[in-house]
Amino acid sequence: LLLGGRAADLFGRKRVFLYGLGLFSVASLAAGFAQSGDVLIAARAVQGVGAAILAPVTLSLVTANFPEGPARTRAIALWTAVGTAGGATGGLVGGVLTDHLSWRWVFLINVPVGALVALVAVRWLRDGRSPAGRVRLDLPGAVLVTAGVALLAFGIGRIESHGWQGLVPVVAGLALLAAFVAVEARTAQPLVRLGLFRLRSVAVGNLATLVIMMGGFALWYFLSLYMQNILGYSAVRAGVSFLPHTLGIILGSRLAPMLMERMDARLLAGIGGLMAAAGFAWQSVVLDAGGTFLGSVLGPGATMALGFGLLMTPLVEASTRGAPDAEAGAVAGVVNTSRTIGGAIGLTVLGAAAAAAGPEPADGYAAAFRAAALITAAGTALVAFLPGRRM
């Protein structure tokens, strides 16, 4: 993610977007025709690299082409809404393809979609890069931060089952992240210029994003498990059941720019975060085998979704505010990395909370949602330390 964002700044956002899209599409084709588990895993890994390149480039295209203010806020809101809609649609289409055709089509469908997106990108995207000169990517920094985060998440997941031994990879991961910071401070062309974090909006915004997303992934992961394992929904029915949640996030994202014209962005983000936390808490008390869609899925889920929709637009806007256009990709990489790290660590922590709750799956899911409520509330409290902002 960080490497993709920085590459966009150095070599051109349009060019890197197309490279990432091509890599993702080719890997999808390989996964669709894979004849062994090893080939499938390798193709999925390459898919992940392509997706990691694409994610920060899309946000950097938004922040680089829209100046700070109402126009950028509306663009970020649309970016959030489209990303949410795409994810939900992909999950639903994937379930239908798996049930009616084959799991291979979950991957093969990406090829024509990728080709169509490439045609649109070639025609409409504008390029942008740093001034000409000799440039190079900070590969040592990329290796250090990737390995550090992987070890950190792996170690946290092992603490529940391995006790103190699980701290070994945690300590190793923290050491690698410290080495990453040292490398970034010394290299002439860092992956992420540490001076960016002197901007309070960037530092606090990304920290809040990381903490909030530790709880945010519970909405999709544990609610999906509840619907399929407890309520007995099929994969397709579970996917359809998430459509109201998707609409809630889209609605919140579209309302956020209008509300930011009338109130401080911190207040709006705080309201959204507390709504999401309340939805998680509500969800934790209605997870039982006799639950209904309206009472156990739609009500609490819609509350979480609308809250996240109201929260994410002002939070992403704050996390990118003040950064120069020449570093739009790097900042977008930091934002997406914060979201991904938060989600990875969060799933590990929430999974441990669920496992510790006992043998009954419903009790475990409830424990995960209670933990998500507390984590989301803690992350929302950080919003108070953002600089004031009204459009």
Contacts of 36 (CB under 8 A, 6+ apart): none
Same domain as 148, residue 279: no
Same domain as 104, residue 201: yes
Same domain as 378, residue 265: yes
Asked whether residue 390 is assigned to any structural domain, the reply reads no
Same domain as 320, residue 240: yes
Same domain as 375, residue 346: yes
Structurally, the chain folds into a number of domains equal to 2
Within the chain, residue ranges assigned H as helices are 2-11, 13-32, 37-65, 70-100, 104-108, 110-124, 139-162, 167-186, 200-216, 218-225, 235-241, 243-260, 265-284, 299-320, 328-356, 361-382
User: For residue 226, what is the DSSP state?
Assistant: I
User: For residue 126, what is the DSSP state?
Assistant: P
Asked whether residue 391 is assigned to any structural domain, the reply reads no
pLDDT at 379: 92
Closest among 72, 73, 58, 89 to 247, alpha carbons compared? 89
pLDDT at 320: 79
Same domain as 333, residue 256: yes
Asked whether residue 180 is assigned to any structural domain, the reply reads yes
Global pTM value: 0.78
Asked whether residue 15 is assigned to any structural domain, the reply reads yes
Same domain as 271, residue 228: yes
For residue 289, the SS3 value is coil
Same domain as 186, residue 244: no
Asked whether residue 133 is assigned to any structural domain, the reply reads no
Indicate the residue among 190, 205, 229 that finishes a domain.
Answer: 190
Radius of gyration of the chain (CA): 21
CATH number at residue 253: 1.20.1250.20
Same domain as 373, residue 244: yes
Same domain as 223, residue 210: yes
Closest among 247, 232, 257 to 71, alpha carbons compared? 257
Which tokens go with 242? Answer: 């998430």
DSSP 140-181: HHHHHHHHHHHHHHHHHHHHHHHGGGGHHHHHHHHHHHHHHH
Q: Which domain holds residue 166?
A: 138-190
What is the full per-residue pLDDT of the chain (391 aa) written as tens digits? 677 777 777 777 788 888 888 989 999 999 888 888 888 889 888 888 888 888 778 777 777 777 777 777 788 777 777 777 777 677 677 777 777 788 788 888 889 988 998 898 888 877 655 545 456 777 788 788 888 877 877 777 666 666 666 678 888 888 988 898 888 888 877 777 777 788 888 888 889 988 998 888 777 788 888 888 888 888 778 878 888 888 888 888 888 888 888 888 888 989 999 999 999 999 888 887 777 788 888 888 889 889 988 988 888 888 877 777 677 777 788 888 888 888 878 887 888 888 888 788 888 888 899 999 999 999 999 988 887 655 4
Asked whether residue 367 is assigned to any structural domain, the reply reads yes
Polymer length of the chain? 391
Same domain as 102, residue 27: yes
Same domain as 208, residue 177: no
